[in-house]
A and B are shown apart, each in its own frame.
Chain A
């Protein structure tokens, strides 16, 4: 028995709650969310939700009745002020106390803001929550009326998905990226260039190597332009900042748990306190070689949520599967398997100007990651190859006629 409290009602928190139940935990489970909404899916926020193609009920991740049926007590609009580890109690922002026998931290992450003048002005938004996305959608309507452009700062996945949705709504869009390439830290250079071309061909004004100095505000205090080094001004009806996130690790840090740009956990989601585990975007996982890995993805949240729940039940369930991610922009679905950092060679399967293709990342001759565009079969196979440690030769990967799946069944 006992009482497990889960801080955070997103993907990781919900998974942890359900995994506790399916793992046989019969005590009390309390799921605390700081937003007003019941658990919802975040991936559509930058796409169908932002485009106004979904209603709130369609976004729901778990119906409240289902959580209740599983004996999971959901409390929304609740903020936790502090963890008192010696007394195993949470202090809530409303002054009340909540004792726990097990604690799951699934506190997520918060979008960064560039440290420049105007970064917090009205009309400068970031996308994390449903309310964030709704606010951006409202501004889209204003931009449509005023004919003012949307300026996206940051050419990462969130920024580019917002840009694609804005173009779909017929808005003028400028993307400003400080680096010489879009998505330069995650994709192979040839794919970065392909994405730049994709956005330009859909009418996005793309500026790479952009040196952003300030966001100018009008007399009403609303963002009206982004100012670049050298004095150039990019007019804006809305500025969306997509410059990454910071892990929400303050609760853990002030409670004395190890944090390094995220709550440090092992492969099972354990912190240094045997009664406290953590999962999802708020974590930094310690790898066997001692380095820390931060992943921000649905799969990571789901798997760590399950691992963390198992750890509280005294079970060993490390998350070691191949990481996977996806991004939808215009009519292109990018699906990524594995981690491509440190790749030293790339092989292309299928032509870049064709309807679908995949990029195979190699490090020291071994396959480490595969990025597929509109090629889900390549992606599914890539996960299996990487999970199994199977590394096709680059010339095999490059040959669309060669059946990579055959390598899985070979003795």
Chain B
């Protein structure tokens, strides 16, 4: 993982000093709330329904055990003993006091963490595959590029007051685990005809009230040009993105209104004038960042050691978890382990301080001190020796993060919804909790197979409902919570937006509807290994619509 040097440390420390000054001026009344708002937002501080919320950046979802312990400390000291991992690989705390925020920021800075640019109209946390650096199907670790871009856009003098927020994702695998096309800007590493590595550049994706999937504006961009090209895109957006209507201010609307070709032409004209300037990357500059990435000293181990096979035979619980939550690692003898933060009846993505501390310790003992946060709101231990899996499983199970439901119907992606969020129209968390109870039978979940449920409590779509296999969107009708159901969305390399199946249903019926959809799938599928998403693709939503609305 990337290790901060003196430059990085100095900057976050200076940032804390600035924020302390800003909070002081707000508390003394020198700053109005209106003036303070953009300043706090640039540090990840929102004002929510009950309290201030602090969102802390976890760049590209990589954490050290020391950092995770600090996140536990923040939860314990400044919040109510837990934190919420988000779909953008960040963590947020929902019960922070304004006067204590500077101290919390200073504590975070002591381990190289901060809330910079986790909100506001700036480039947000750069996200990537949570398996970056360890996935067998990866071309190159995308985090190097995510870090180069992260640094470039941090406190950028030109792009700190853009029309709206700007989300960038970087991917590098044949299988897209970073939901690339749902981002304002996505970069996908791939090889051109001559074998050279570069980026496919996609712009204008985004969910929210007007969902769009990003379109390719440059099929191949050389590595040396990545910063200048990103700069040209941001400069084009900063000048010409709409500022008259907050709902039309994202780059997707600009790309849509201009058309991708015209947008690309504008960007290209700007890029031509800066591409050979100070932003062109040479080997020395790339090498400086690459050198700050420290990788584990793996042992030479064999795949499938005898003790693993024996443990799988001996314990059905372990076997169920192994076949669900453990993935192949690019290094022989190692595995990637997903920790489910989706226990039955739990809040998706929540972890307690006790759990975070315990996971940090397990990371030290079993995963070279490294943890990842995935956009599915689960955690990952990326470097576990296969011979340790059985022992690790027992310890994960003891702290409640070994539910073998990864990618199943109860592995729900959900925003905080009306329980916390001042933008929400409807609750999300209780819907998710009820669905996990309805499907508590793991054999049923296994039979249903891969099935992603995404829940958003409002049109802003923080739960990415458009790209859920089953998408649930909370809306308000005459003061009551109703939910629109979409089917067939997906966020991977074949990203698709879901199709609405019919009129919104009331709060009390949502879990029933999901059960109906699951039952319809079991009847409709042609064979047990036809995935839910493939059945929907084959049949369309009509048979599901009939099933759901026949009884209502």
Q: Do A and B come from one complex?
A: no
Residues of A within 8 A of B (CB): none
